[in-house]
Structure 1
Amino acid sequence: MKLQNFLDTNLRYPLQYNFEAIASDRELAQQIQTRLKSLQYLDSVADGNFGPISALALKNFQKAAECNELDYLGAVTAKKLIETKPEQITQPPLYLGSDLASRIVKYMQKQDYKIFQGEQYYNIVYVEGLADYLRLGTIEPLDF
Structure 2
Amino acid sequence: MKLPHHLDRGQVVVSLHVIVDIANVEQVRTELLTIIRTHQATSHACVVDLGPIPYVLPTGLSLLANLHDQCRRLDMRLRIVSDRPLVTRVLRLVGMHRILPPFRTVADALRADDVLPHRAPAFPGPHVNGKAVSAD
More helix by share: 1
Structure of greater Rg: 1
